[in-house]
Structure formats: C-alpha cells, structure tokens
Amino acid sequence: MAGSRSVVDRDKQAQSNFDVDYVIHYSIPPKGSAEAEASFAQLITALSAVGFATEVRPGRLHRRHQGPSASSSPPSSLLVFVKLASDRLLTSQIYRARVQDWLYGVRPAAPAANPADDGSNEPVTQAERLRLAYMLITRPRNEGGAGVTPRRGQWRFVQSVFPLHDRAFNREWIGEWSRKYYLDDGDIDRIRDRFGERVAFYFAFLKSYFAFLLFPAAFGFAAWLVLGPFSWLYAVVNCLWSVVFFEHWKMKEVDLAVQWGVRGVSRIQHPRSQFRFEREAVDPVTGEIVKVYSPVKRLATQLLQVPFAAACVVALGGLIAGCFAIEIFITEVYNGPFKQYLTFLPTVLLTIFNPTLTTLLTRLAEKLTELENYETHDAHQASFVRKIFVINFITSYLGVFLTAFVYVPFGKLLVPYLDVFQLTAQRFTADGKPVPTKSWQIDPNRLTKQVIYFTVTAQIVNFATEVIVPYAKRKLFKRVEKVQSDLSEKTAVHTKDSPEEAEFLERVRDEAELDEYDVTIDYREMVIQFGYLSLFSVVWPLTACSFLVNNWVEARSDAMKIAANCQRPIPWRADSIGPWLGALGFLSWLGSLTSAALVFLFHSNSSISGSSGKTGGPDGSPWDIRAWALLLAILFAEHVYLVVQLVVRGLVRQLDSPGLQKERAERFAMRKRLLDRMAERGVSAEPAAGPGVGGGAEEEKITREALEEEARRLSVSGEGRPEQLFWLRQRSADETIQVGRALIAETTSSNQTGSRK
C-alpha cells in the first residue's frame, strides 16, 4: 500500500513543478564575479521585498571544463525559483489588477469590495496567476514591482524569466489534439487558461480559419474539376469568401474578447522599459510627471520607413527579379554547355541570399522600430509587424507577381534584354563564340507551377524547418551531450542535486535552454498563407485544399512547438490578433484586384486552350487584350469588392453572438444592481408631489370666471410675481381639466350653432 503510494507520488513528483511560479535564469559571467554576486543579492532582495519566496539551484554544468571530479564542476548559471509567498499577496494583486481593468472599462462592474469574496466567485486561472506574478517581477519599483528587466542594465545577468511547463497538461493536450478532427471552443478556452489570451487568440484564429477553409476547399475542388483555372466564377466566390471571413473574424474577435473578459484590454498599455525619454515634464492635466519624447522626432524616424520599404523592394525585389531573369534565360533561352548544372544556379542564389537578406532586413526593421522609440509594447509591436509584413510580402508574392504581370504579358518584349546574360556568358567561354540558344516561347504553365510550389511545397518545407528540424537538432544535441557526460563521469549531474529534485531540475535546465515562443511568427505564416489564397488561388483552385490539410497539421505542430520546442510563454492578454488584422484586410482587398486581373489576362487563353484540347494553354501572347478593358475590370472588381464589404459588414453587425449576449447580461445585471441601490436611497423616479389630482369629494365647483377674477384681484393687490399668478389660475389638475372641458364644450356647441345657422 505504502509502496504503491510512493510510486504514485514519484510519478506525480516527476510531473510536479514544486509550486514554482517562475524560474529566473541567472548567468554567471566568466569574470567579474563580485559584480555578479552583488547583483544576485539585489535580485533576491528585490524579489523578496515584493513578496516572492525564493530558492536557488545550480544551473547546467560547464561543459568545457571537464575536470576529473564532478563535485568541483561548477554551474555556468543559477536557477532562481520564485513563487508568490502567500495567498493574500495573490488576492491583493488580483484585486488590484481587476480594479484597473474596471477603471479602463474592461470589466463592466467594479470587483467585489472584499477581494477574498471576489476570488472565490471568479476562478483564478493559471494564466492570471502567472501574468500577475510576471508583472510583479518586471514592474518598476515605484509601481510596486521588483523592476527586473532581463538582459538590461542592472539585470544584465538575468538571462530569462520563464514559467515552467505543465508536463501533464501538455501531454494530455497534444494527445487529445492529435486524436480529434476539429478543435472546439473548450480546447481554445483551455489554452487561454494556461497560456493566456494572446496565444489563445492565435489558436482561435487558426480554428476559425480552418473551419472557413472548408468552403473554398470544397468549392475549389469542384471548380478545379468543372471550371478549370482562371474562372471568373471562382474568383468572385473566392473574393466573397475572403470578405465574409474577414468580417466574420472581426466580429468573432470581439465576441471572444468579451467572453474572455478582455475586451478593451489593449487600452491598458504596458510601458516599454527600453523607452528613452528626452525630458520629464509635468502633465498639465494630471499633474503627474511624465516622460516625454518629441513626437516630431518620432515622426521623422517613422519617415525612415519609406526608404526602408524602398530598400526592401530594391534588395529583395532585385534579387528575386534577377534570379527570375537568370532562370528564364537558362531554362528557356540558353542551350549551351553545363545547362543541367546551370539550371540550379538561380535556386542556389535564392537559397543563399534570400534568407541572408531577409535576416538582415528583419534586423534592420528591429533597429528601426527601436529607433522609433515607442512608449508602449503594443505600439512597438505594431510598428515592427508592419515592417516584417512588407518584407514577407515581397519575398512571398513578388515572384508570382512577376510571372503573372511581367513575364507572361511582356515576356516577348523583355526577353531580348536577357542578352546581357548571353554576353556575360560569352566572356567566360574561351572562344568568344555566341552561346548557343534555342528559340524562345513563353511558358504559360510557369505561373501555375509557381503557385503550386508556394502553396504546397513551400508549406511542407516550412513545416519541416519549423518543427522537425529543431526537434531533431535538440535530440541530436542531447545525445551528443549525453555521450560526452557519459564519457566524463556517469553521475556528474546527479550528485549535486538532491534525489527528490534531480529529475525536476534537469527538466528546468532543459527548459531554460529553449527559445522563447513568439506568436508573431505563427501569425505571419497564416496571414501570408491567406494571401496566397486571396491573391492567387484563381490560378490553381486546389490551393484551399492544400491549405486545409496543412492547417490541420499546423495547429498540432504549433501546439507541439509550444509544448516541446519553446519555453512556456508568458500568458499575456490580448483583445484581438492585433496588427495582423490590418494585413488580412489589405490582402483580402488586394485579392479583388489581382483576381480580376488574372482572370482577365488568362481566362480567354485557358478556355481556348481547353476547347482545343491542349493542356498547355495559349501561345503566351494574350496581348490582344486592350489595356483599358483590363483596367476597367480591375476598377470594377475593386469597387464591387468595397460595396460587398460594406454590405457584409452591415449584415454581420446585426448578428447576435454569445459574447455580445454576455456583455448585455453583464451590463443589465450591473444596471439593475445600481438602480436597486438608487431605489434604496429613495431617489428613484417616484413622482414628486406636484399639484395633485384632488379627490372627487373635496372638489369645489369652480367656474373659469371666478378663477380669472381671483387672479385679477391678486394682480391688482400687487401680490405675487406675474409668473406666480400665471400658475395660480388653475390651482390643481382638476381645475385645469374643468377649464379645458368647458372650452372644448364651448367650441363644439358654437360649431353646432354655426352649422345649424
């Protein structure tokens, strides 16, 4: 009995996080230990001053120094474990945060006066606890936090601050998701409870997007069978779908935010600790001292975005266009020696330079955003996302744009200029003879091939680089490590840790080495994917089918990534998918333009080639088409799109949703409570005692003349102001009624007299 319990205990213990809220990974510098020690002492003091319990353990052992004795092998870092020391602290933090929410209009009602009551009414999720603990660690000291800012200033030895994965939950989560076809709301809610709303919003978006993909996948498959490519019907349906999806998501987003109680949470801005201020000034309104950075300066820096975008276009565009030109030259014009090797040249060039350039530009974007010096995280993030969207837009779509709108229509005009390459090639050949070429034809299938490449092959490659490679790398690395440590000494690690904790500490050391999870990357991937669907799927209607399969895997692999390949994310809140929403809207709109143009340029060709039985298609010269008709088609498509968007928006807005219902219910409850309180105070709308409707019994028979006489008498005797006298003529409602009735009767009788006359 005792034995079995201890086995269970041991099992549980292996899973347990020992109530740790956060682990602070503290690196020990090879030199300057005095500073590191002092800083460490400050760290612990600061943490315990705001109410954290702390424990320190050695981090991973040095590998480079494998002495004979394991016990003298020192750690290269420390792991500081912190937890909120008392429930009272947690409760007060929760109350504080909820009051702030209420003040910013995130919660409809103030939290209960007694925080303890409130906590019991509204469950405290892991995400909330962890978020508050993180805020307490990182908030500046004058706002009641410990002010720990990893990797900066005083805290430059703090490598990272991360919560620990809940292994049991993760295992169950991944297991469950890999078994089920559809995710349901419960799945998303569970993610929200663990990883916070920001991550949950990503999965909710993925879920919504996946469900919406079912339609274009089915319709696309049918269109592929029946209509073929470049069908205007498919283009219209696809655009309509993208509008509906976009508008639906905008509503769904609000709905989820309300359901999760985070609507308007983006109003609560987290100040960036990196913000550099020029001067401190007294806010004229609040009298607080605020840090000021000249908006003119920021605007000037923001204008750098224009040359940045130009640089992106030139660098990436030049690379892509250059490789494109080389590729065409080699595959379609060139016919000289080494052709089979030279075919790979553009691919090699792209593979080498594209990631390099992208990384370079991304780093430039980071720098630029840093320079823009935003005060809040959200503004910083939004600006950064804009920049990487530009980069990704070019790398992802420019190739297809070139094929569709330059190569096919203008190929015949442009290819002669590729002689440049021929001349270059001539230089390198010894004899200086012209390089042999073959007569050239535009390859109309290139567009389709390219779209298929981007929508199928690239997605698979992406999945591999995102999930399989890091996993394999880690496994390999671990094996190497293990072999190494086996070589040096079998029990090197374990002698230092007490046996109860050994397993746990090993796990924590592993997690400390993982990357931080960045939801931006996942959003980017999905948005770019949506772009292919919206912009180019008319070329290959099966696009959505491919994405449907891909996204089923994507949801699981992203879950895997969070659970196994990354540190547990800080559970931030969010009330939308943020700046990506704008990118989605932009792509959906652009889709109306490109779809119209593609259908217009290629439709007649493909249908002609279809009827003539050729699979290849046209002869590559669709340029009998008049430019004005193309422009008219685009103009028309765009405005139809905009009108449809307005209509769909109007319709979607009229729909009810659980979130809106919840909001109504909350507002109603609050209103009722408040009005009840008002009623208690006796200031409700009970009529004040005006000149009442007198009872019938004490009614005194009055005549109009008598009353007027009285008023006249009062006025003559000088009593009362005229205003008073005016209101004294008829002393009660009954008198007014009597006078009125008399007047009506008079009118009627005189009418009758008149008509009798």
**Nearest approach, Cβ of 109 to a copy of itself (angstroms)?**
10
Opening angle at CA 637, ends 632 and 639, nearest 5: 95
- Identify which of residues 491 and 751 has a Cβ nearer to a copy of itself in the complex: 751
Q: What's the min distance (Å) between Cβ of 568 and a copy of itself?
A: 18
**Touching a copy of itself, residues 292-351 (CB under 8 A):** 295, 299
Give the separation between CA 469 and CA 561, rounded to whole angstroms: 11
Question: Segment contacting a copy of itself (CB under 8 A): 76-84, 243-251, 348-356, 369-377?
Answer: 76-84
In this complex, which beta carbon is closest to a copy of itself, that of residue 225 or of residue 743?
A: 743
Contacts of 541 (CB under 8 A, 6+ apart): 219, 220, 221, 223, 224, 227, 229, 231, 234
**Burial of 298: CB neighbours in 10 Å, binned 0-12, 13-18, 19+:** middle
The C-alpha atoms of residue 618 and residue 606 are separated, in whole angstroms, by 7
Rounded to a whole number of angstroms, the minimum distance from the CB of residue 417 to a copy of itself is 24
Stretch that binds a copy of itself, among 196-204, 346-354, 468-476, 735-743 (CB under 8 A): 735-743
Nearest distance from residue 468's CB to a copy of itself, in Å? Answer: 36
Q: Which residues, including other chains, have CB under 8 Å from residue 44's CB and lie 6 or more apart?
A: 54, 56, 80
Q: Which is nearer to a copy of itself, 154 or 362 (CB)?
A: 154
Q: Residue 167: which of 10, 55, 12, 23 has the closest Cα?
A: 12
CB of 50 to a copy of itself, least distance (A): 5
Contacts (CB under 8 A) with a copy of itself, residues 368-397:
none
Least distance (Å) between residue 342 CB and a copy of itself? 39
d(CA 454, CA 531): 11
78 binds a copy of itself (CB under 8 A): yes
| 588 is a contact residue toward a copy of itself (CB under 8 A) | no
Considering the complex, what minimum distance in angstroms separates the CB of residue 726 from a copy of itself? 4
HSE-up (13 A, CA, CB side) for residue 93: 25
**Is 746 a residue that touches a copy of itself (CB under 8 A)?**
yes
Distance in Å, CB of 444 to a copy of itself, minimum: 24
Interface pick for a copy of itself out of 222, 226, 292, 665 (rule CB under 8 A): 665
* Residue 37 in contact with a copy of itself, rule: CB under 8 A: yes
Q: In a 3-state reduction of DSSP, which class is residue 26? A: strand
Contact flag: residue 9 with a copy of itself (CB under 8 A) = yes
- Nearest distance, CB of residue 135 and a copy of itself, angstroms: 11
In this complex, which beta carbon is closest to a copy of itself, that of residue 48 or of residue 607? 48
Smallest Cα–Cα separation from 534: which of 606, 594, 607?
Answer: 594
Q: Which residues pair with residue 57 across a beta bridge?
A: 79
For a copy of itself, the closer CB: 424 or 749: 749
Question: In this complex, which beta carbon is closest to a copy of itself, that of residue 59 or of residue 444?
Answer: 59
Restricting to residues 418-477, which ones interact with a copy of itself according to CB under 8 A?
none
Contact range with a copy of itself by CB under 8 A, out of 216-224, 243-251, 282-290, 355-363: 282-290
- By beta-carbon proximity to a copy of itself, the closer residue of 36 and 608 is 36
Q: What is the DSSP letter of 270?
A: P
- Piece in contact with a copy of itself (CB under 8 A), picked from 243-251, 483-491, 602-610, 631-639: 631-639
Under a CB-based contact definition with an 8 Å cutoff, are residues 314 and 395 in contact? no
CB atoms within 10 A of CB 546: 24
Question: Is 33 an interacting residue with respect to a copy of itself (CB under 8 A)?
Answer: yes
Tokens of 712: 């006249």
Asked whether the beta carbons of 375 and 275 are under 8 A apart, the reply is yes
Residue closer to a copy of itself, measured from CB, 367 or 664: 664
Smallest distance from the beta carbon of 685 to a copy of itself, in angstroms?
4
Measured distance CA(231)–CA(607) in Å, rounded: 9
Binding mask 479-498 for a copy of itself (x = CB under 8 A): -------------------x
| Residue length of the chain | 757
> Residue 290 — φ and ψ, nearest 5°?
-115, 155
Angle between helices 185-226 and 232-259 (to 10 degrees): 180
Nearer to a copy of itself by C-beta: 91 or 543?
A: 91
Nearer residue to a copy of itself within complex by CB, 95 or 219: 95
State in angstroms the smallest separation of the CB of 627 from a copy of itself: 4
Question: At CB < 8 A and 24+ separation, what contacts does 634-640 make?
Answer: 634/593, 634/596, 634/597, 634/600, 636/596, 637/239, 637/592, 637/593, 637/595, 637/596, 638/589, 638/592, 638/593, 638/596, 640/592
Residues 82-111 close enough to bind a copy of itself by CB under 8 A: 83, 85-86, 88-89, 92-93, 95-96, 99, 103, 105
Q: Is 541 in the site for a copy of itself (CB under 8 A)?
A: no
Distance CA 466, CA 218 (A): 28
Strand 22-27 to 77-84 pairing? antiparallel
Query: Restricting to residues 689-728, which ones interact with a copy of itself according to CB under 8 A?
Result: 689-693, 708, 711-712, 715, 722-723, 725-727
Q: Is 661 in the site for a copy of itself (CB under 8 A)?
A: yes
CB of 634 to a copy of itself, least distance (A): 7
Question: What is the residue type of 586?
Answer: F
DSSP label at residue 225: H
Cα–Cα distance for residue pair 511/519, rounded to 1 Å: 18
Distance CA 534, CA 586 (A): 10
Which residues 113-172 are close enough to bind a copy of itself by CB under 8 A? 113, 115, 144
Q: CA 46 to CA 148: how far, in whole Å?
A: 8
Three-state SS for 342-399 is HCCHHHHHHHHHHHHHHHHHHHHHHHHHHHHCCCEHHHHHHHHHHHHHHHHHHHHHHH
Report the distance separating Cα 648 and Cα 63, nearest Å: 61
282 binds a copy of itself (CB under 8 A): no
- Minimum gap (Å) between residue 602 Cβ and a copy of itself: 19
Minimum CB distance to a copy of itself smaller for 369 or for 609: 369
CA atoms of 547 and 560, how far apart (whole Å): 19
- Using CB under 8 A as the binding rule, whether residue 63 contacts a copy of itself is answered as no
733 forms part of the interface with a copy of itself (CB under 8 A): yes
Q: Is 634 in the site for a copy of itself (CB under 8 A)?
A: yes
* Residues that contact a copy of itself, how many (by CB under 8 A): 124
Residues 42-61 that bind a copy of itself (CB under 8 A): 44-45, 47-56, 58
